[in-house]
Structure 1
Amino acid sequence: MDEVAGDDWLAVRFEENRSRLLDVAYRILGSGPEAEDAVQEAWIRLSRSDGDAIDNLGGWLTTVVGRICLDMLRMRRVRPERPVGEHSPTLPDIDVPDPELEAVQADTVGLALLVVLQTLAPAERLAFVLHDMFAVPYDDIAPILGKSPAAARQLASRARRRVQGTPEPPAVDAARQKEVVRAFLAASRGGDFAALVELLDPEVVLRSDAAVVSLGNAVPVVSGAAAVAGTFSGRAQAARLTLVDGLAGLVWSYRGDPQVVFSFTVTDGRITAIDLRGDAEYLQGVELASLKD
């Protein structure tokens, strides 16, 4: 296509995506004027690019807007912002908003949600908004953040807890967790019921997702130290000690492919929860690293 026709085609395609891009930018930034600026910058970058080489224009534009918004969020840390009030909760003093537009946008997203989003770190906010609000896969979010898909998943999960009002989990002693999980694996393989009970909190909970239950050897929930110890005693022969998102856990694999991941919550030296997960999406995003048994 000639240059003029190409520009016209890009402009039409861009306008088809504009409303969604503004929605993405507003939910990340919380400011109508800044969202407009981010989308305009995306158009400038698109107009300077080879449109014919972009296979998925909508995805490309979402990625570009995400990167622009991330940069804008980080820049806010070096300049003051207007406190939450009658306008957008993150509107810089230099902006002059359209009150009616701001009201409509805030009503659409929810002012309470915008206020909570403002408390998140830039990377957390972007990962949460793109994944939870716009269903962007972690594989596509990861390059924007310069992190792995597993790290992007963790950022979104952390943000989700904040948004839902769930308190952050306490800091974990990684070395102590490895020691406890290693002892748990040895006791399980050796059928040492008493040692397993000693390692488990009296109110420990064992949870299995639907994929694990479908394998036929698990139920959704088992509670209590004796019941959980009985579930594992003499088993876990094929499980291997593994770092699961940076913390000691176990993995059962088949022909080299992880099938079930065992995640442990250890508090004061005892296991308070064990989660067995075999969901395909989870297995694709979780970060695993081998440890010596």
Structure 2
Amino acid sequence: MSQGSAADFEPHRPALRGLAYRMLGTVSDAEDVVQEAYLRWHGMDTDDIDNPRAYLSTVVSRLCLDRWKEARHQRETYVGPWLPEPVVQDNNGPDAISDLAHDVSFALMLALERLSPLERAAFLLHDVFDMDFREVALTLDRSESACRQLAKRARHHVQAARPRFAADPDQGARLAEAFFNASRSGDTQTLLAVLAEHVVLHTDGGGIRSAALRLIYGADRISRFFAGLARKKGQPPRWSRPVTINGLPGFLTLEADGMLQATSVALHDGRITNIYVIRNPNKLDHLAHLVPESLMNASKSDNGRFPHESPE
């Protein structure tokens, strides 16, 4: 009898983590699901498993579907716009979080969020992870024809969210930096120069930190919004670093109040079309290790608690 081992499992972990993250939208839950799949795999009889990747994808998908009942309730009661937990690559060093950072745009994740759990699973398993519909049907306990329809409906919604043209990385970095500096200083002229006319601002505070409770549309309104913030706060962040966030150029910052924030921008035709600001500390805990330890310790000392424990 052959038993499932770590050596057999680990080559599949990145793909399984990617599947779970796309299904659930949270880094922590994705890691938990993959670890649960490993625990089920470890020591089990694998003699009858011809395709370990497909088998493990099935296990992860079913675990995610089970978790979706709770996740859907949380989404329905969420305060303000919801964004997925960010996956980050540090532009000044080696890959900091995972190989997902270039392949899970916020637009794609928000499009997936509008699908039913079964549509989401059918699309991801077939279109992203190359599982044939016979295997998808077995995973979802549906007929092949039903799974084809699920994937087709999902594909229709997702295609519009995928960028048609790849953004130039250097241009993206320049625009992100220009936006970052202008938004912090309240420079409305520069903001109007870098923002597309119909730009959209998404701010996720989760009801824990201050954030706009609705999407904000248009370059004029958004530039005035950031100018108002600059007048109100005035203090620069304690630390900032350019990073890639879900495939987009952006910045990770330790704010003046000792709290983390992730900001990124999407581009088209040399202008910023979407701005994503994540302030909910529950979605940023996994990024705290990127901040210099001395600054995190100083934040704890200033606040009398860890940064992520102090709501604004």
TM range (shorter): 0.3 to 0.5
Higher RCO (CA < 8 A, seq sep 6+)? 2
- Larger Rg computed on CA atoms: 1
Q: Please, what TM-score do these two structures have when normalized by structure 2?
A: 0.44
